[in-house]
Each structure stands twice: as structure tokens, then as C-alpha cells.
Amino acid sequence: MPVGTVEDKALALNDIEISVIDLFVRGVQVLGLPKSVGQIYGLLFITPEPLSLDDIVERLGISKGSASQGLKILKGLGAVATKYLPGERRDHYVAQAQLKVLVSGFVNGELMPHLESGEDRLAVLLEDCATDETEGADFRKERIERLRRWHGRSSKLLKTIDRFLG
Amino acid sequence: MPVGTVEDKALALNDIEISVIDLFVRGVQVLGLPKSVGQIYGLLFITPEPLSLDDIVERLGISKGSASQGLKILKGLGAVATKYLPGERRDHYVAQAQLKVLVSGFVNGELMPHLESGEDRLAVLLEDCATDETEGADFRKERIERLRRWHGRSSKLLKTIDRFLG
DNA sequence: CATTTTGTTCATTTTTTCTTGAACAAAGTG
DNA sequence: CACTTTGTTCAAGAAAAAATGAACAAAATG
């Protein structure tokens, strides 16, 4: 390693970078994702060059574990892409910056699974309801029927959102 | 107080009630709201009679503080309504069970404020960008312009959702 | 192959969020 | 009014979620 090297290992973030990262941190928190995910995506979004895991760790000052974990989530959502650079051993990442892709990834990765598990639960509820003859059974039947309708409309809504952005 | 009273103070929840409450607990957690909010809304949703704060505390086995806090959030979202019962001193609550109203309440109470604060931040960013002449400024300008477009589309999307349910 | 580089996993620690319960205020009652 | 009932607030404790960092595995290098 060269001694007395002039440049710092990690270049400090400038004002614009900080603001953009901050914006994404708040954004992902609304969506229920960890702060580090917002930091990483924000940094990639505002940086022209593809960054390696170590770049991310150094520039954001977060741990390697967090960075690895955050990138995993972002890859799962389709929010970052891997860019292979000739002569580079490490993976380098860039932000996927198409709103449609991001929203689709979130809808399919986070919202749909919940809707589907809800569907299973509703099926069980309907069975339980069929044999329910206790006080107030009619009211409960009506309410669970309503839940079914909500479920159907929610599915359609997600499809509408996809169409809206497509 | 009558001695040797036969009925329990709090009637235990039956299977259907438990399942429905569970469904809402998971639902509100997706939306980033506390578990107690889901419990309270679920109980009101599946109960024919309006319930008082104490009814809620007893049937769910949560603290008065949580119940009060949870009801406050639900009122703020327009998800519960107060029903005045003649001859009753306490407030009694019923679930607002129209999907449209619930979604509107959430959109206006939770999503819109974030979008609006994002708008302010974007305005600041645009100013900072104008005077940015450092390496990579063009890229950053392009990205922040993109954020503006995202913001506009998000607003429209929320309106589309409202229309979809209306 | 032995060694270095790179990235993941996971037990632990830290941070954040939620719940509790007691103190308090506000309103109702006799 | 003094007393009760009802509901809110908030400091402290409990629970849940996220970040850390060291151990590990996998792949590249010479």
C-alpha cells in the first residue's frame, strides 16, 4: 500500500447527495423498509458511476453487513442492477431508475405476497363461518363477505396501478 | 357491586373474532401502523354493537393507554365513528367499513403529507442544483429532474386510486 | 494449492417503536 | 361542591427491528 497517499479513502458526501439520500431514506421508511436500503438506493441513484459494495460502505459509513443486506433487498425488488466492469473483480451496482420497474418490484415483492396470504386466511374464515350459529352470526357472515369484496378490489387496484405506470 | 356474579367481566374472543383481528393486525402492520390499531379496528369491525373504550380494553386485554392512543389514530384516519347511545355516558365506537373511506383516510392522512414534504425538499434541491458546477453536475441535474417527474406521477396515481374506489 | 480478495450470514448490540400504567384533567352526578 | 366516572398524556419499561462486526464460505490469483 502506498504510504502518504493524498486522497481520502472515502470521499465525503456533498450537500446534494446528502439531500437526495435523505429523501430516499424517508421514502423507503414510508414503505416499511430499513433506512439503510434508502441510503444505498439514494447513493446509487445520485452517483453516475457504478459502485462496489466497499464503495457504498465507505461513502455511507455503514457496516458491510448492512450494505450486503440492503443490496440483497434492493436486488430482490429489482431496484438495483449489477454492472460488470471489465478488469474489476468486485460486483458494481447501479440504481434502476424507472419508476414503473420500482413500483412493480414493490407491488410484486411486498404487497402481493400479503394479499395472497390474506386470501388463504379468508378461505379458512369462510369455512368457520359456515358452521357458526352463535349469537350475531349473521353480522359476522356479512362482514366476512365484505372482506372478500375488499380483497377482490385490492387485487384489481394493484393491477390498475401497474397499468397506470405502464 | 353484585357478589358472585355469573358472567365474566370480559367475554373471551371466539375463533372467528380472533382470526379477523389477526387479519387486521397484519394488514395495518403492512401500512406501518401499530399492532394495537389493527386489534381495535378488527374488533370493532367484527362486533355488531358499538363498543366503549373499556369494552375494548377488556375484550382485547390491552392497556387503557394503548386503546386510547389507538382510537385516536383510527379517528384521525376516519376509520372509526363515534356512536352516541342514549343513556350511556361513555363514548361508543363503530368501525367505518367502507373501503373507499378507509383508503381515502390513509391516503390523505399518511401518504399525502409525505408527498408534500417531499415537494418542499425537491424545491430546495433544485436551487442547490442550479449553482452546482462540480464534477458530475449534469448527471445530478438529470436525476433531480427525474425525481420531479416521479413526484408528479405519484400525485396523479393517488388521485387515480381515489377515482378507482369512488 | 496457499493466499488474498470478496461477499454473506448471523449472534450480539444498538436503536427505534410500541405498550403500559399511573398521574392528571375534564366532565358528569347527587 | 365533593365525589365519581371517563378519557388523555407521558415517563418508564418491554418488545421489535435494524445495524454491527467477526466468523465463515466462495471465488480469484499467482
CB proximity list for A98: less than 8 A, separation 6 or greater:
none
Rounded distance between C-alpha atoms, residue A106 and residue A154, angstroms? 15
In A91-110, the residues whose Cβ lies within 8 Å of chain B are 97, 99, 110
- Cross-chain residue pair B20–A139, CB shorter than 8 Å: no
Q: Is residue B9 pLDDT above 60, yes or no?
A: no
Quick check: B6 pLDDT over 70?
no
Q: How much is the pLDDT for A25?
A: 97
- pLDDT per residue as tens digits for the range A103-154: 999 999 999 999 999 999 999 999 999 999 999 999 999 999 999 999 999 9
pLDDT for position B114: 93
Give the C-alpha separation, A57 to A43, whole Å: 11
Q: Is it the case that residue B113 has pLDDT exceeding 50?
A: yes
How many residues are given for chain B?
166
B54 touches strand D (CB under 7 A): yes
pLDDT tens digits along A5-59? 334 456 889 999 999 999 999 999 999 999 999 999 999 999 999 999 999 999 9
* B94, β-bridge pairs: B81
pLDDT at B134 over 50: yes
Top residue of A140, A156, A163 to mutate, by most chain B CBs within 10 Å, is A140
Distance B74 CA to D7 C1' (A): 16
Q: SS3 sequence, chain B?
A: CCCCCCCCCCCCCCHHHHHHHHHHHHHHHHCCCCHHHHHHHHHHHHCCCCEEHHHHHHHHCCCHHHHHHHHHHHHHHCCEEEECCCCCCCCEEEECCCHHHHHHHHHHHHHHHHHHHHHHHHHHHHHHHHCCCCCCHHHHHHHHHHHHHHHHHHHHHHHHHHHHHC
Q: What is the mean pLDDT of residues B50-58?
A: 97
A90 band by pLDDT with thresholds 50, 70 and 90: very high
Please, which pLDDT band fits residue A2 given cuts at 50, 70 and 90? very low
* pLDDT-derived band at A162, boundaries 50, 70, 90: confident
- Assess whether A69 (CB) lies less than 7 A from strand D: yes
Question: pLDDT band at residue B87, thresholds of 50, 70 and 90?
Answer: confident
Q: Rounded to whole angstroms, how far apart are CA atoms A29 and A35?
A: 6
Q: Is B131 on the interface with A (CB under 8 A)?
A: no
Please give the pLDDT value at position B48.
97
A66 CA → C8 C1’, Å: 11
Cα B133 from chain centroid? Answer: 44
- Residue B91 has what pLDDT? 94
pLDDT recorded at residue A5: 36
Mean of all residue pLDDT scores within chain B? 92
